[in-house]
Amino acid sequence: MGHEDNYWIRRMGSGRLTRRRFVGGAALLGVGGAGLALVGCGDDDSTSKTPTAAGGGGATDVSSLKKLLDLPTGAAAGEGLTINVGAVLALSESGSYYGGIMSKGIDLAVEQIKALGGPTFKITYKDHKSGNAEAGAAAARELGIAKTPLCLASYGADIGSMLAGIEQYKMLTLDGGGGTGTAFQKKPYFYGTRAITPDDTFPGVYQYVTAKLPNVKKVQLVYWDLPEELINPSVELLKAALAKNKLEYLGLEKAPIGTNDFSTLLARLKQKNADMLHMAVYGLDPGFLMKQLDTSGINAVVMGSEFTPDAAKVAGASYNKYMFAYDFFDIDAPSNPWGKLFVDSFKKKYPDVVPDFYAANFYENMFTTWEIVRRVIAKKGDVNSGDQLNAALQEKTVFPSVYGGDSAKAGVIAIDKDTHTVSKRSMGVFKIKDGKPAMAASFDIGGADFKLVG
Amino acid sequence: MDWTLFQQLFVNGIITGSRYGALGVGFGLILGVTGRFHFAYSISYVVTAYAAIIAADHGVPLLPALVVGLAAGAVLAMLIEGFVYRPLQSSAPTMALLAIFISSLGLVIVGQNLIRLEWGSRSKLLDTGFTVEGLSIGESTFTSLDVVMVCVLWAVILGVWALIRFTQPGKMISAVRVNPEMARVVGIDSGRVYLAVFAIGSTVAGVVALLSAMKYAALPDMGGQPTFLAFVVAFLAGVGAGPLRAGLTGLVVGMAESLSGLWLSSQWSPVVVFSLLFLYVAVKPLSLGVTLPTIARRLRTAGAR
Amino acid sequence: MELHLSGQMLLLGIGEYHLDIFNQMLIFAILALSLNLLIGFGGQVSVAHSALAAAGGYGAGYLSAEYGVPYIPAALAGVGFAVLLGTAVSIPALRLSSDYVILLTLSLSTVFVTLLVSLPYFGGSYGLLGIEGVSVFGNEIIRPSEFVRILLPVLVVVFLFTWRLGQSPFGRLIKGIREDEIATRSLGKNIFMYKVALFAITSGIAGLGGVCLVYYSQLASPTQFSFDAVTTMIAMVIIGGMGNLWGSLLGAALVIVSRPFLEKQVNADPEQAFLLQLVIYGTALVAVMRLRPAGIIPEGASIKSGLIRLNRFVTRSGGPAAQTAAEAADAGLAALMARHAARPPSRPGASGEDISQVESAVEVTGLVKHFGGIRAVDGLDFRLAAGRITGLVGPNGAGKTTVFNLITGAIRPDAGVVRLNGVNITNMSPHGVARRGMVRSFQDVRTLPRLTVLQNVMLAVPGQPGENLGSLFFRFRHTARVEKEARDKAMETLRFVGMEGKLAFPAGALSYGEQKLVALARMLATGADVLLLDEPASGIDQSWLDPVLDVILQLREMGKTICIVEHNLHVVERLADWVYFMEAGSVTAQGTMKDLISQPRLAEVYFGNA
């Protein structure tokens, strides 16, 4: 009755199982089974990779760091030890550029530390997929299960998702990407090495505005659409800084996160007639925003909280009107010899890659990690104990930095023992000249050491 | 009501609405004729933009570079139809809908990450070839690029409409859309028609992508949101609806999204759009005629003959 | 106890790392099983599953983080929210074709998740972070090896629950809805209620999965429940095998293990490693779909069937086993043919009986239906005499099938009254009409292709407690007993139509004629007294025609009231006691076939002008 072409006959009726189909099915099952077995095989601890020297370029002579950073040698430096460090970064999805550049900073530091007679830091990279909470929680858990005592995190412990694992497994974690922010202060074993933006910048910015932008009287805040508890502290701090400088606070407008179309936001902003827009938006958003703002008819000074070359590229010429303030690492004019060495060695190791402040942060955090390890060694402690490492950090929360300093000395970063965020961190107000950032003022936390530049 | 804000949002609505309309036309054509849930639409979108930019970077003048991009997107879509969807359709007609859906997803993951691997996640810019100026009507501002965009998009929408209505290939496409069995009986090769439809649909997407790359930037994940919207607009317009209807539906959606900014801050716009969609879908069956079951059955078998 | 267990596991080489992955498999298996019930068994392509998991996870998480509610009541509350949300989703979905269900669920889940992000109570894009830990008898559960002791039993329970549902008459009904809603409805099943029940149940389980996920990761975040999450779940179901619960376990396991597997295998620098892993994963998705679109363990496959196929393959069959099966299949039909040959020919219409003396089983008066400007049925009166065969003939487009639709409640009449055994059933739902004792067949047969012949017929047997959740889970013996009775009844009707040899064949594998017989058996199994047959003879091979007609005559002898719509006038002549002639929406003539044939005007109308 001619039903050979009937799908059901072919599948179930006559039961003719062709060899190809069987082999195909068996192969699939085989691969699956082997896969499961392979994950099983291999010890739990060897989930890490030794960073491959991806940079085609050569290594720089780093011996000058010995004196600059006052480094010991031999056993005190941790020579011969192998220490596991986790690195949870954005290695896929929209932020994968950041994970990439951060990993380069880490790898550069690991190489230099070894050359300086330090331990071999074995980095286990984990991908939090540009802010996926589930991935972050899993990463912290996996690192913890593998007994990794140290970790470098980003995106604010991946928007907090790593914190439970960090505490449970006592994994000492430094975040040089998002820092602690307002939300994740005082968390056990977790420390931020970034200035909180825009909060920490307000005192310095408004001193600058009073000095150099006398026409600015009314300020509008434009903030990423985050939970109220996070925005409110910033609003209060801004109000305080504005009041102190006798300026008017117009209000808050929320910007959608990670979009490229700001037409509605700009339409609403136009109504406000602000003299200055203080923006707390990140990633590519400032670039798109500036580009559209340029043709929107809004005449206001724009003060941002981040600068990335990518956002600048997107914005094109409109970025020449952009100003920003935060702990920005100026690769064209590093402020101290260590910073200069970082820029030079990075360019040498990665010839076609431009270093940026994220690379600098993770580079210096690796050195900070080393110093903490050295302190534990000095006490003849266990470098794999999260508690001991934590105690070593708390002992003296001041570390050398590629930021700040002067032509002879490395700069300094200090962390507050209670809040776990920075208490000393060089920041600046920057303008754009010929497409490149140029420092207009420098200041520290709380507006300390305010200095006009240029 | 704040008239100034309204004017600006209205203008914004026209601009985004035209984009949504064009996206809906392209996706809707594919969905209506072939019944395939072609989520890999986003791949054609992003490949068009990247191909054009890379051509331009290699010294190809602007217009030919754009053509290169459009061609790349169209060819890719045809390859997907020919080598992924069609074999699935013939080997498993009853599972086709979901199997194609999952394959689409797989393709999107592969495509997006290959692009990231090759060209990184940083943005790429497409030069417009002319200086973009700010313009204004009354209190509302927009750019000369926006004007070009809206004109081009509607030209494309009307072009597709004219193609379907007046040309021979267009009539064949219509025939296959309305009654595939009958079309086959009169000798229309629906295989070729499907390929043509995929090419046309992704060319439309490609135009939107190029304009988007000019206005904003090209990013590896730029195709996701537009595909989502294309899907929504195509369904709202009605599966099997003509290009004009899809275009107008997109305009309405864009306008609704924009005007919601009068009362709500922008984070709520997706809620508005999807609430509208939800209400529409919930209310729709109450006024249904006879056509839906037919379309539905065809969709379930993914347009099988 | 704790140390002992861990020690044992270490001996097997299984450490916390593996248990962590295993736990993730368990959680996603819960989600995949419930999604499979909804999509694979029920054919409701919903993409709201991650939103429903979110309802559960966020519900429990919110209560825990905000009010410190302990985890068991929080979990129950979460499941409750998910059930509510799922039920709410299902109501508008009832009247939609399963394809628009995608759109509906998509819009609803997007709105829901956007609300979770936008409303201030739920932590916005950061989500809820202060989830209370889980503790059992005072011991805090923190390590994967501890979690597995909770998650594994939960999965086992969920699996047993979904298994029972899937294998039961309830599951069969759900599959019937998937295969052909209208046909299932016409057998007396309230498909709307079952759809809602299916959504509610699967939503609750999804909510449970969400709760587990949130407690395991100690956070509730929008990224856990995004569109990506639901597409991953769908991938698990499809790759594993739609309609097969073992497949869902396998699918969840494969997808979850793929990430750590690729992480270990792909050796590249971090910048490329993860992107490369994703490329491989995406390629694998496309490849699996290409090679096994029905999934690795397709519906109907089980260990037993797998072994049979393996055996056949190894013995290089077709072989004697297959042949015997084929012979047995046809034996039933042969018996049917033999029965027919043995019977004396009969011809009802020629008996000379006065039909007006027979009471009416069905009475239709003044039936009207307009579609837009078209008057499909325009003031129709007719009746079906009890225990007789009534014919309804007329040219194409006269409105005959519409009449069937109208009197069985598939379409609402604009005016008119329909009475069944004296009861006014005019605006009753199709399933209500079927339960009252009037069922119809379809021109396009509409058997349920992926169900076996036996299942097709068993579905039709009314009064099955197995379709009721309460009986299904609390009255095992009663349900099993009635199921056996239903099976016997189904076998009886199959024997009656000669199809008992093919009881294990999927209905879609049968020829058109065989399917028609199965459809007849199905109608019989409902126990209805009034049978409306829409074109019973069309598309049937000549050699089959007589046995089929014979069956219909036997039904009449059994006392069934039958109405047939037919084009083949010889068939009508053979079968019908009384015939109505329909033209343009109303009856213009009635009588015995002989009477009507002798009216030349009717012939002209019927065949068109010469």
Q: Which of A8, A133, A228 minimises the CB distance to C449?
A: A8
CB of A410 closer than 8 Å to CB of A402: yes
Q: In this complex, is the C-beta atom of B277 within 8 Å of any C-beta atom belonging to chain C? A: yes
Encoding tokens for residue C19? 């248990």
Neighbours of C (≥3 Cβ pairs closer than 8 A)? A, B
Q: What is the CA radius of gyration of chain A?
A: 25
Measure CB to CB from residue C289 to each of B37, B102, B286 and give the nearest one: B102
Q: What is the 3-state secondary structure (H, E, C) of C191-234?
A: HHHHHHHHHHHHHHHHHHHHHHHHHHHCCECHHHHCHHHHHHHH
Q: Give domain status of residue A145, yes or no.
A: yes
Any domain includes A54: no
Q: Could you tell me the residue ranges of all domains in chain B?
A: 3-300
Q: Grade residue C217 by pLDDT with cuts at 50, 70 and 90.
A: very high
pLDDT digits (tens, 9 = 90+) for C117-174: 888 888 888 888 888 788 877 778 888 999 999 999 999 999 999 999 999 999 999 9
- Tell whether the model's pLDDT for residue A5 goes beyond 70: no
Residue A388 sits in a domain of what CATH number?
3.40.50.2300
Chain B residues with CB-CB distance to A295 below 8 A: 132-134, 141-143
Of the pLDDT bands very low, low, confident and very high (cuts 50, 70, 90), residue C568 is confident
CB-based contacts of C42: which residues, under 8 Å, 6+ apart?
A: C174, C175, C177, C178, C195, C198, C202
Section A331-343 average pLDDT: 94
CA A372 to chain CA mean position, Å? 20
Q: Residue A96: which of C17, C254, C275 has the nearest Cβ? A: C275
Of all residues in chain A, the percent with pLDDT exceeding 70 is 87
pLDDT tens-digit profile of A94-149? 889 999 999 999 999 999 999 999 999 999 999 999 999 999 999 999 999 999 99
State the best of B89, B109, B141, B273 to mutate against chain A, taking most chain A CBs within 10 Å.
B141
Q: Which residue of A has its CA nearest to B114?
A: A92
Residue A140 in any domain: the answer is yes
Which of the residue ranges A256-265, C378-387, C423-432 would you say has the lowest mean pLDDT? A256-265
Domains detected in chain C? 23-300 (1.10.3470), 354-437+528-610 (3.40.50.300)
Decide if C406 contacts C563 (C-beta within 8 A). Answer: no
List of residues 6+ apart from C189 with CB closer than 8 A: C173, C176, C177, C431, C459, C467
Domain boundaries, position A302: 199-326+429-452
pLDDT at C350 over 60: no
Would you state the pLDDT for residue C9?
A: 54
Tokens 């070729």 locate to B192
Same domain, A231 and A203: yes
Same domain, A124 and A183: yes
Of A9, A28, A141, the CB nearest to C292: A28
pTM over 0.80: yes
Residue A28's pLDDT is 39
**Mean of pLDDT over chain C:** 87
Site of tokens 């970064």: A89
Tell me the C-alpha distance between B154 and B22, whole Å: 7
Side chain identity at residue A24, one-letter code:
G
DSSP bridge partners of C565: C392, C534
**Judgement on whether residues A239 and A178 belong to the same structural domain of the protein:** no
Nearest-by-Cβ selection for B274 from C107, C289, C293: C107
Whether A72 maps to a domain, the answer reads: yes
Mean pLDDT confidence for B44-53? 96
- Please report whether residue A48 resides in a domain: no
Q: Could you read off the pLDDT of A397-416 as tens digits, one per residue?
A: 999 999 999 999 999 999 99
Q: What is the pLDDT of residues A153-191, one digit of tens each?
A: 999 999 999 999 999 999 999 999 999 999 899 999 999
Min Cα distance B156 → chain A (Å) is: 22
| Most confident listed range (A59-63, A94-98, A127-131, C510-514) | A127-131
Closest to B232 measured CA to CA, from C102, C85, C229: C102
Number of domains within chain A? 3
The beta-carbon neighbor of A264 closest among B122, B136, B261 is B261
Structure tokens at B12: 């914004």
* pLDDT tens digits, B75-117: 999 999 999 999 998 888 877 888 898 999 999 999 999 999 9
- Kindly state the average pLDDT of the residues A226-231: 84
Question: What residue ranges in chain B does DSSP mark as E strands?
Answer: 134-137, 140-143
C374 interfaces chain B, CB cutoff of 8 Å: no
A170 and A211: one domain? no
Q: Which residues contact A32 (CB under 8 A, 6 or more apart)?
A: C250, C254, C296
Q: Which of residues 109-168 of B touch A (CB under 8 A)?
A: 113, 116, 120-123, 125, 132-134, 136, 140-143
Residues A74, A180 share a domain: yes
Same structural domain, A276 and A229: yes
Instruction: Catalogue the E-assigned strands of A66-184.
Output: 82-89, 120-127, 150-153, 172-175
Q: Which residue has the higher pLDDT, A278 or A17?
A: A278
Q: Which long-range contacts (CB under 8 A, 24 or more apart) does C72-78 make?
A: C74/C132, C74/C211, C75/C208, C75/C211, C75/C215, C78/C207, C78/C208, C78/C210, C78/C211
Identify whether A47 is part of a domain.
no
Burial environment of residue A107 by CB neighbours within 10 A (0 to 12, 13 to 18, 19 or more)? buried
CB contact C322 to A (< 8 Å): yes
Q: What's the Rg (C-alpha) of chain B?
A: 19
Residues 6 or more apart from A173 whose CB is under 8 A from it?
A150, A151, A152, A153, A157, A162, A166, A189, A190, A191
pLDDT-based confidence at residue C551 (cuts at 50, 70, 90): confident
| Same domain (yes/no): A72, A153 | yes
Q: Is the pLDDT of residue A29 over 80?
A: no
**Cα–Cα distance measured from residue C515 to residue C451, given in angstroms and rounded to the nearest whole number:** 12
Chains that touch A (3 or more CB pairs under 8 A): B, C
Distance (Å, rounded) from C-alpha C257 to C-alpha C278? 13
Evaluate whether residue A34 is within a structural domain.
yes
Q: What average pLDDT does this structure show over B2-26?
A: 91
Residue C302 has pLDDT above 90, yes or no: no
List, in order, residues 6 or more apart from C125 with CB less than 8 Å away.
A159, A225, A226, A227, A257, C117, C221, C222
- A263: nearest Cα among A296, A311, A304: A296
Give me the percent of chain C exceeding a pLDDT of 70. Answer: 91
- B79 touching C, CB under 8 A? no
User: Which C residues, 300 through 319, put their C-beta within 8 Å of a C-beta on chain A?
Assistant: 300, 308-309, 312-313, 317-318
ipTM: 0.88
Closest C-chain CA to A97: C271
Task: Compute the average pLDDT of residues C576-585.
Answer: 88
Q: Please check whether residue A254 lies inside any domain of the structure.
A: yes
Q: Six-digit token pair at B267?
A: 């984070």
C259 Cβ contact list (under 8 Å, min separation 6) = C277, C281
Rounded average pLDDT over A339-360:
94
Q: Cα(C113)–Cα(A288) distance, rounded to whole angstroms? A: 26
Q: Which residues of A156-177 are buried (b: 16+ CB within 10 A; e: fewer)?
A: bbbbbbbbbbbbbbbbbbbbbb
> What is chain A's mean pLDDT, rounded?
87
Do A190 and A203 fall into the same domain?
no
Residue A324, pLDDT above cutoff 80:
yes
CA distance B8 to chain A (A): 6
A411-415 and A422-424 as β-strands: parallel, antiparallel, unpaired? antiparallel
Residues 212-231 of B with CB under 8 A from C: 228, 231
DSSP C355: G
User: Which positions in chain C touch A8 (Cβ < 8 Å)?
Assistant: 449-450, 506, 508-509
**CB B44 within 8 Å of CB B71:** no
| C304/chain A closest Cα distance in angstroms | 14
- Same-domain pairing of A241 and A352: no
Confidence (pLDDT) at C322: 55
Give the pLDDT score at A77. 92
What does the pLDDT look like over C373-414, one tens digit per residue? 888 888 889 899 999 999 999 887 777 888 999 999 998 899
Q: Is pLDDT of A17 > 50? A: no
C231 or C338, which is more confident: C231
Residue contact B106–C118, C-beta within 8 A = no
Tell whether domain B3-300 is in CATH 1.10.10: no
| Predicted pLDDT of residue C482 | 93
Shared-domain flag, residues A146 and A214:
no
Q: Closest Cα of chain C to A252: distance in Å?
A: 16
Structure tokens at B51: 């191909």
Q: Would you say B17 and B255 are in contact if contact means Cβ atoms under 8 Å apart?
A: yes
- Which pLDDT value is given to residue A240? 95
Q: CA A65 to CA C195: how far, in whole Å?
A: 71
Output the six-digit token pair for A340: 């200069």
User: Does pLDDT of A21 surpass 80?
Assistant: no
Whether the per-residue pLDDT at A35 is higher than 60: the answer is no
Mean pLDDT across C49-70: 93
Dihedral sign (CA C429, C433, C436, C439)? negative
Closest to A237 measured CA to CA, from A206, A199, A211:
A199
